[in-house]
Amino acid sequence: MKSSVEALEGNKVKFTVEVEEAEFDNDLDAAFKSLAREIRLPGFRPGKAPRKVIEARIGSEYARSEAFRNGLPNYYVKAVNEHEVDVIDSPDIEIVEGELAGPVTFSAVVQVRPVIEIDGYQNLSVEIPSPIVSEEDLTSAIERLLGQFGELVTVDRPAQEGDRVTIDISATHEGEPVEGLTANDYVYEVGMGAVVEELDENLIGASAGDELTFSADHPDEDEDEPLEFSITVKDVQETVLPDADDEFAKANTEFDSADALRDDYRKRLTETRVNQANTARRNAVAEAVAELVSDDDIPEALVEMEVENRAQDLAMRLQAQGLTIEQYLQFSGRDQGDLVAELQATAGTSAKMDLALRAVAVAEGLQVTDAEINEEMQRIAEQVNRSAEDVLAQLTEGGQMPSIRADIEKARPSTGWSSTRRSSTKMATRSPRPTWSSPRPTSPRPKTVHRAAMPPILQPTTPVLPPRQLKEEDD
């Protein structure tokens, strides 16, 4: 196979691919073998009829069209990998020579990722949360630890935020009990906001023996009638924390003193804050440089590719949870149009970030070193439980190394510029598959690239009580 590529107007390139007759004959053989399994000829078992017999009975036109359908996309992918072209859409393939016999020459016109220039990024500034851990932050963290060892003590006063109240609760909607919102001796932490806002609003200031009734808006926007709640407050308890002293540290942690425990918390909180600050910086920088990109610079094909990838990500993640897209839409109270609009909105921003960060990498001369490539190969190898050498070979064969290099360039923390994305790679992926302009026997089988991503948390449309907690009886 020989191939060449030339630039066209409109952010497109044209591949010209020449396939020798002997090489294409392998694709014809595969097509005839497939036909042999599908047709029935007298005197031959299924799949055993020779190519010459099939060719004599039905001709070679159909088999050749099948060879085009299955073989040309593979030749196209090889050409893309050979020339390291960053395609963003499926190509239009046209057979130039060899439609009926002989060697095959075809052209493939495809849109490529644009290379843009942006001005003004050098003067951008972003604001991020301070990574410094204050004494108040440290004290709050220690108190959360102490809370795990606190004791509940009944108090003779109105309930405050953070208290535990024992209640009998029931809710109705249009006179009918609401499943999941009826319980006796239910222990609830005031202020946790786990049911409806109005529950916390009414419990604050309530005392043991109080009877409460109130209405709350139904969370389902299609429901006009409110929920009606009846609450009986039976007990109010506060959490009494142990002292954060040496005795507590020795008994409940790996440290011998309260000071050592506090120092460890400070160290870990600082590490967390620094990581959060770095993430915030990357996000803020990416968003800031994306604002410098014009909408006219973003090809529709790039946005569509991002939408498709995100939809596939969501479908794969839902499948791992045993859910379908239809169930997800039902649980989240949305329809397919809402989901597509949401994906399109975020995909457009992502496409702007991608082009902007690539532009900065080029302008700043952020060349990727062999050491960085090796580090990335090792990172991917650990994820897929393969050797770094195998990963490099497979990604090179699949034509993904240019994308890997581009992602590393965008992620390099040089002069404060970095990307929101790490390179996310699925082994043995391929370039976008083609669409056909001539001939067109049947649509090519699609090859899709999947990346894993976490979907939004599913939220029910009707509130329910948190996991039931019954008040412990005194011994």
Name the average pLDDT for the chain. Answer: 81
Mean pLDDT of 46-75: 78
* Lowest-pLDDT range of 51-65, 147-161, 270-284: 51-65
What confidence score (pLDDT) does residue 436 get?
A: 37
* Per-residue burial over 111-150, b = 16 or more CB atoms within 10 Å of its CB, e = otherwise: bbbbebebeebeeeeeeeeebebeeeebeebbeebbeeee
Mean pLDDT of 121-150: 91
In this predicted structure, the answer to whether residue 214 has a pLDDT above a threshold of 70 is yes
What confidence score (pLDDT) does residue 100 get?
A: 87
In this predicted structure, the answer to whether residue 248 has a pLDDT above a threshold of 70 is yes
In this predicted structure, the answer to whether residue 258 has a pLDDT above a threshold of 50 is yes
132-139 LR contacts (CB < 8 Å, sep 24+): 132/270, 132/273, 133/266, 133/269, 133/270, 133/273, 137/269, 138/262, 138/265, 138/266, 138/269
Is the sign of the CA dihedral 190, 194, 200, 206 positive or negative? negative
pLDDT digits (tens, 9 = 90+) for 341-381: 888 888 888 889 889 888 888 888 877 888 888 998 998 88
Mean pLDDT of 196-202: 93
Q: What is the DSSP letter of 123?
A: G
Q: Are 103 and 3 in contact (CB under 8 A)?
A: no
The overall pTM is greater than 0.75: no
Percent of the chain scored above 90 by pLDDT? 37
Mean pLDDT of 166-180: 91
- Which segments of 213-298 does DSSP mark as H helices, in order? 246-252, 258-290
Residue position matching structure tokens 């190509």: 91
What confidence score (pLDDT) does residue 442 get?
A: 28
* Lowest-pLDDT range of 99-103, 317-321, 397-401: 397-401
What confidence score (pLDDT) does residue 465 get?
A: 52
In this predicted structure, the answer to whether residue 474 has a pLDDT above a threshold of 50 is no
* Lowest-pLDDT range of 87-101, 106-120, 315-329: 315-329
The residue with greater pLDDT, 204 or 325, is 204
